[in-house]
């Protein structure tokens, strides 16, 4: 499956409101570690809460062997933007737009970052 086919599959998932790209309160360095895992490819991305600005978000995108970060700001009247010239009512619309057209980003958004779940075991001593 090539990059364009993968993005097309992602676009159809997004239309069904599957929001697997929102990682909430992870830190920038943790986002970089996750995106640089071998399971993630060029164009993998996630959205997380901004560490520096309350109510804003950050978009982290894998670009080859590096990760680029973009601030997503909220408008006072509602909506979101990375570049003020292009605004969106929802984060889903923002992701949809940048998955179809890089429009100033380093790469089109493709597949959401793979989430690897870890299970913690409680060990009790008797």
Specify the CATH number for the domain of residue 67.
Answer: 3.30.505.10
The distance of Cα 77 from the centroid of its chain, to the nearest Å, equals: 23
Task: Give the per-residue pLDDT at 9.
Answer: 47
Q: How many domains in the chain?
A: 1
Torsion on CA atoms 80, 83, 87, 90, rounded to nearest 10? -30
pLDDT digits (tens, 9 = 90+) for 29-87: 999 999 999 999 999 999 999 999 888 999 999 999 999 999 999 998 889 999 999 99
How big is the chain, counted in residues? 126
Q: Does 121 map to a domain?
A: no
Rounded to whole angstroms, how far apart are CA atoms 52 and 1?
Answer: 38
Q: Does 21 map to a domain?
A: yes
Arithmetic mean of pLDDT over the chain: 85
E strand spans, the chain: 45-49, 57-63, 66-74, 80-81, 87-88
Rounded to whole angstroms, how far apart are CA atoms 93 and 13?
Answer: 13
Task: Give the per-residue pLDDT at 77.
Answer: 86
Q: Does 116 map to a domain?
A: no
Q: Does 16 map to a domain?
A: yes
Is residue 75 within 8 Å of 90, Cβ to Cβ? no
Please, where are the H alpha helices in 1-126?
A: 3-15, 28-35, 91-100
Q: Which pTM value belongs to this model? A: 0.78
Q: Does 110 map to a domain?
A: no
The domain of 48 spans 3-100
Q: Does 73 map to a domain?
A: yes
Q: Does 106 map to a domain?
A: no
Q: Does 109 map to a domain?
A: no
């Amino acid at each position: 499956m090539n990059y364009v086919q993968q993005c097309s599959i992602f676009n159809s998932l997004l239309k069904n409101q599957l929001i697997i790209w929102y990682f909430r309160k992870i830190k920038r360095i943790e986002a970089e570690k996750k995106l640089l895992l071998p399971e993630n490819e060029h164009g993998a991305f996630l959205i997380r809460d901004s560490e520096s600005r309350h109510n804003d978000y950050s978009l982290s995108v894998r670009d080859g062997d590096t990760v680029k970060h973009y601030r997503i700001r909220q408008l006072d009247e509602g909506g979101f933007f990375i570049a003020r010239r292009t605004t969106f009512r929802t984060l889903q619309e923002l992701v949809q737009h940048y998955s179809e057209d890089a429009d100033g980003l380093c790469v089109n958004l493709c597949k959401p970052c793979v989430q690897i779940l870890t299970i913690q075991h409680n060990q009790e001593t008797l």
